[in-house]
Amino acid sequence: MFRIKAKSNPRFIEAGFMIILCITILAFSIGYLQATPHIPIFLVIVLLLTYGLLKKVPFRDLEEGMIAGASAGLGAVFIFFFIGLLISSWIMSGTIPTLIYYGFLTISPSFFFAIVFLICSIVGMAVGSSLTTVATVGVAFIGIAEAMDISLAITAGAIVSGAFFGDKMSPLSDTTNLASGTVGVDLFEHIKNMGWTTIPAFLISFVLYVMLSPTTATTSFDTVEQLKEGLLTTGMIHWYTLLPIAVLILMTFYKAPAILTLAVVTLLGVGLGSIINPLPIADVFHILFDGYVSQTNYPEVDALLTRGGMNSMLGTIALVLLALTMGGLLFTLGIIQSILARVESLFKSTGSVITGAAITGIGVNTLIGEQYLSILLTGEAFKAQFAKVGLAPKNLSRVMEDAGTVVNPLVPWSVCGMFIASVLDISTLAYLPFTFFCLLGPILTVIFGWSGKTLTKLPSNSN
């Protein structure tokens, strides 16, 4: 999508008006009317098509822009399909039930949210994927929170915060590699430099989750004991069912392609499931498509384990394609390019350049809902500006992650936002106030930008 050629050249005021109108439609429909994002995004697409035709842009060009935008998300679409398959196969194999059961044995409700945040951070760093972390241990923690009658919104916020901390700081993460590569910074130098903003955000978040964690007195342990008993009756609680997690981490460490990794651990889950509870192949196919359906004498266990399947991802995939189609039109109509051209000329000082880069990362996430594009566009737009004010490229790569990578899950119509809401069954706006780590990222990067602290200057002979 980044290489889509503009077919019109609107003035900045005109482009700004269109962006405000698009955001207003999305925010009013999703925030006030509580509508699912599909229809509001579709309305914005119709609006942009109408605007393009009024600008005398040939419909064929608009159509090609939509196709180019949607095609940018095909990689994510295939990963979403595999995540749906993975969840159902890992329930069938006992991997997720065992994770939940062991979680009941080890987690203290007094520090529940802090423990969720910490474990998701560790897993996220190990696998280098926020979405994989959310879809595996995140699903398990949501189940535990449901059983213990603990706030699902805060639990989801802790899961997302931990998953994106791990993703951001992992050398295995695609966004981390993309950010460092876009501006030509060594990967580990980039990660080290991110520590100046990321570690304070992590520590503040951890303290907040400790403070918000419930007291033992407010937690229903009777329900927990019933769930542990119910999980044991499934016959799926075995230590060896955690083998797919070990294989996932191992393949990720050796940098195997994401789709290949997901395919292998899904097949492994199916294999383990066939050993634990042999089923006809037709039933296995049904579970992989429609999801696992638990049938025990424990309704709470059934609610916990009935999920997953390729079919569960179809609504999310439709949203992704619609959002990226909208992005393709914004590029084709020259709206994004017009805004970026003005942005480059507005920011002159160190603090304003960093603020501008952060606003651009947030804006691209909000408008297009794609974190890769937020990284690419921010990097391309601000490379020269950072050099002009004497800032080393690693400052830019840090801002690209602080205001790009971690902001995507906060946007209801974004790729990550839609995926997380679908997998955890909690709306983006519900968990957004509790994603402390993600919210602190842009704030801290701007504060450090204006204070001048932790910034690395270019050598004097490079200016």
Tokens 């044995």 belong to 105
* Alpha-carbon span 313 to 128, nearest angstrom: 21
Neighbours of 54 (CB within 10 A): 8
Amino acid occupying residue 451: S
Query: Residue ranges per domain, the chain?
Result: 12-72+314-417+435-462
Please report the pLDDT score of residue 305 as a whole number.
79
SS3 string, 140-178, reads HHHHHHHHCCCCHHHHHHHHHHHHHHHHHHCCCCHHHHH
Please report the pLDDT score of residue 140 as a whole number.
79
Query: What pLDDT digit, counting tens, does each position of 167-212 carry?
Result: 888 876 777 877 887 777 887 788 889 999 999 999 999 999 999 9
Please report the pLDDT score of residue 120 as a whole number.
87
Please report the pLDDT score of residue 270 as a whole number.
93
pLDDT band at 46 (very low <50, low <70, confident <90, very high): very high
- pTM here? 0.70
| Averaged pLDDT, 323-345 | 82
At 457 the three-state DSSP class reads: strand
* Alpha-carbon span 325 to 67, nearest angstrom: 7
pLDDT band at 133 (very low <50, low <70, confident <90, very high): confident
Contact 231, 237 (CB under 8 A): yes
Q: Is pLDDT at 104 greater than 80 in this prediction?
A: no
45-59, 83-97, 314-328: the lowest-pLDDT one: 314-328
Please report the DSSP string for 386-438 in residue order. HHHTTB-HHHHHHHHIIIIITTGGGSTTSHHHHHHHHHHT--HHHHGGG-HHH
Query: What pLDDT digit, counting tens, does each position of 203-232 carry?
Result: 999 999 999 988 654 555 555 677 778 888
Position with higher pLDDT, 356 vs 346: 356
